[in-house]
Amino acid sequence: MKVWFNGQLVDADDARVGVWDHGLLYGDGVFEGIRVYNGRVFQCQAHVDRLYDSARHLRLAIPYTKQELTDAMVETLAANGIDAGGYIRLVVTRGAGTLGLHPFKCAEPNTFIIADQIALYPDEMYRDGMAVIIAKTVRRSGRVIPSVVKSLNYLNNILAKIEAIDAGVAEAIMLNEAGTVAECTGDNLFIVSDGAVTTPPPGASILVGITRGVVMDLARRAGIPLAEADITVEQLYAADECFLTGTAAEVIAVTKVDGHTIGGGKPGPVTQKLLSAFRDYIASGDW
C-alpha cells in the first residue's frame, strides 16, 4: 500500500510521524474521511473546504493548496488501484514540537493521505436495520471545542463507542448537555414522525456532516417535509423511523434504541426511499 506523505507517495510502513508530533501528543490536528465511488472522490470540494475550515479554527496552516490536496488524493487512489468502494483518510497534524502545549513552537505540519477500502456495517444491517444505545457519555459542548472542528481529538466519541461495544451494538447515540439528541459516535441522526423528517440543528453540538447535507437535499427534492430541531429522548423512542447518515455509514436504519423497538422494528418507507435516492444519486455521478 502507498501513502501520500508530505508531498510524495511512500510505502505505508515508511509513512511515519515522530513521537514529538502534537497530533499524537495532544490530538492537535484535523482530518476528513471521504468516500470514493466509481473512481471519483465523493463531495471532494465540501470535504476539503471543511478540512481548511477546521484548521483555521485551530490556527493550523495547511502547507498545501486545496487543489494540491485534491490532486494528491487522486494520485493516492491510482497508486493503490482503488476505483470503487474506497475510502480516503486525509490528515493534517500540527507537526513535531515540544512536550509543552505551545502550538506555535512546532515545525511544519505533517500531511498524509491513506486510501483503502471500508465496510463500516455488515450488509444485513442495511437490510434489517441496526440496534443502538443511548450513551452515558455526553457529547461535548461546542463551547469546549467548536463543533465545526473535525479534530484528531476523538476521545469523546471513543468513550461512547466503548459503551456501544460493551452493550453488544454497533453504535451509540450521544446526548448533549441539554439532554437532547446530538449525534452518534460517527454518524448524524434523523427521525421520521408522521412522514416528516427531523434532524438535530448545528446548535445541538453536532458535527454538520457532508452526507447529512446530501440526504437533507435529497429529502427536499423528494418533497419530504424536513426540519432541523431539537429531538428529545421521548421523541426518539416515539418516532416512526430513525436512520443515521455518515461518510462511511452512508444511510442506515435504526430499528431499536436501548432495547426499545422503533416503529415497526424494520427500516421504514421514508428511510428506504432516502436510501434508494442516495444510491441513485451516487450511481448518477451528478455530484
How do the domains of the chain map onto residue ranges?
2-117, 123-284
- Note the pTM of the prediction, 2 decimals: 0.95
Per the CB < 8 A criterion, the answer to whether 257 and 242 are in contact is yes
Q: Say what the pLDDT of residue 39 is.
A: 87
What's the number of CA atoms in the CB half-sphere (13 Å) around residue 111?
Answer: 20
229/220 Cα distance (integer angstroms): 16
222-238 pLDDT, tens per residue? 999 999 999 999 999 99
What's the number of CA atoms in the CB half-sphere (13 Å) around residue 206?
Answer: 29
User: Taking 90 as the threshold, does the pLDDT of residue 208 lie above it?
Assistant: yes
The two counts, helices (H) then strands (E), for the chain are: 8, 15
Q: Say what the pLDDT of residue 118 is.
A: 87
37-80 pLDDT, tens per residue? 988 999 999 999 999 999 999 999 999 999 999 999 999 999 99
CATH architecture group of domain 123-284: Alpha-Beta Barrel (3.20)
User: Taking 90 as the threshold, does the pLDDT of residue 195 lie above it?
Assistant: yes
Q: Say what the pLDDT of residue 114 is.
A: 98
Residue among 17, 110, 100 at smallest CA distance from 60: 110
Residue among 164, 180, 161, 172 at smallest CA distance from 236: 180
Decide the pairing of beta strands 250-257 and 130-134: parallel
User: Taking 90 as the threshold, does the pLDDT of residue 83 lie above it?
Assistant: no
Residue whose C-alpha cell is 432495547: 259
Q: Which phi and psi (to 5°) does residue 225 adopt? A: -55, 135
114 strand-pairing partners: 89
What's the number of CA atoms in the CB half-sphere (13 Å) around residue 240?
Answer: 12
30/270 Cα distance (integer angstroms): 34
Sign of CA dihedral 168, 173, 174, 175: negative
What's the number of CA atoms in the CB half-sphere (13 Å) around residue 198?
Answer: 19
Q: Say what the pLDDT of residue 119 is.
A: 85
Query: Class of the 2-117 domain?
Result: alpha beta
191 strand-pairing partners: 198, 242
Give strand ranges (E) for the chain: 2-5, 8-11, 29-37, 40-41, 86-93, 110-117, 130-134, 171-175, 181-184, 188-193, 196-199, 226-228, 241-246, 250-257, 260-261
Residue among 192, 200, 212, 152 at smallest CA distance from 175: 200
User: Taking 90 as the threshold, does the pLDDT of residue 85 lie above it?
Assistant: no
Q: Say what the pLDDT of residue 67 is.
A: 98
Helix (H) or strand (E) holding 177, with range, is none
CB-based burial label for 159 (10 Å; 0-12, 13-18, 19+) = middle
> What is the number of residues in the chain?
287
2-5 β-sheet, strand order: 8-11, 2-5, 110-117, 86-93, 29-37, 40-41
When pLDDT is cut at 50, 70 and 90, the band that residue 278 belongs to is: very high
Chain centroid offset of residue 124 CA: 21
11-46 pLDDT, tens per residue? 999 999 999 999 999 999 999 999 999 889 999 999
When pLDDT is cut at 50, 70 and 90, the band that residue 171 belongs to is: very high
Q: Say what the pLDDT of residue 145 is.
A: 92
Q: Say what the pLDDT of residue 164 is.
A: 98
Catalytic residue numbers, as ranges: 150
Residue with the bigger pLDDT between 180 and 84: it is 180
